[in-house]
Amino acid sequence: MGPGFLAHVIAERFQFHMPYYRLEKKYAGKGLDLSRSVLERSVSRCGELLEPLHDALQKSILAKDIVFTDDTTVKIALAGKPGSSKTGRLWVYIDKLGQHFYDFTESREPDRPITLFKKFRGFIHADP
């Protein structure tokens, strides 16, 4: 798989909310034998390769004097329980220039944001 195709798979999965089993069927219909485990591992590896970029953005944004943040709910499918899900949170953190990074938590508990902002010395603008 090349970088263009991997970018396409990532967009299909996360921008258009296509589960891996549907992507597996879609690509099989086009003659591509890609199991869902191969798709999952490929996307996971892309995430690992992009982690230094995420970390650099996070460091840059948290060094600013003001950070804007908000969260939105996301459904998390429960493995082994078809049709069952729980609610997680996707957080966005943005500086005045529009640079942003995302963080994910499985609840709205403040532990992760508190840890993230432990050394932050500025203003945080967030919805209540």
Domain locations in the chain? Answer: 1-51, 63-128
* Residue pLDDT, tens place only, 21-60: 999 999 999 999 999 999 999 999 999 999 999 999 999 9
pLDDT surpasses 80 at 111: yes
Q: What whole-number distance in Å separates Cα of residue 116 and Cα of residue 114?
A: 5
Q: Which pair of tokens denotes residue 120?
A: 């932050």
**Secondary structure (3-state) at 33:** coil
Q: Which pair of tokens denotes residue 124?
A: 């945080």
Angle in degrees, CA 45, 23, 52, rounded to 5: 20
Task: Find, among 108, 101, 110, the residue nearest to 56 by Cα.
Answer: 101
